[in-house]
Structure 1
Amino acid sequence: MEDIEPHTDEDIPIPERDAVTPNERLHWHLTNALVSAESPETTAHLREALSVYQDLPPTPLVECPLCGKVGLPERIRTHECQ
């Protein structure tokens, strides 16, 4: 597991909802919660949650029925067909 440097709340830029996938957003929140965790119990729970997250199967890619572009379902739903 990677070492994570502590930050203050002011150091943590929140990603725009449309800029990341739900999985990326979950990883971001778990990682930042771990950074700010103060108790050993909370740190242990967050490390376990990150471990479970990393063991999740990848999201299958889908193809846009209009243009044929392939990508994550949430990104294909919102892409601009060319």
Structure 2
Amino acid sequence: MTKQFVRKRWHYVLTLAWAKGKYFELATFEGSVAPLPGHSRQQLFNHLYNSSVKRSNETPDAYVLFFSLEPDELVPEE
């Protein structure tokens, strides 16, 4: 009997800031992702950072103000 792999979903929140002269422009992104087996937390962070910068239409030199990655499931299945 083969074991079926179920991809776990993770909820993320990522807040970025871009220097705009004397001020900063901020943007917060959030969502749920299901990484493939073998992906590291670093790889997932890089993917989320790059896709968030792309969604913002800003330059890729953002400062990370906040990052959270937690299991998306609140109550485990029985």
TM-score by length of 1: 0.28
Give the structure with the larger helix fraction: 1
Give the structure with the larger strand fraction: 2
Structure whose CA Rg is larger:
1
Q: Which has the higher contact order (CA 8 A, sep 6+)?
A: 2
TM-score by length of 2: 0.30
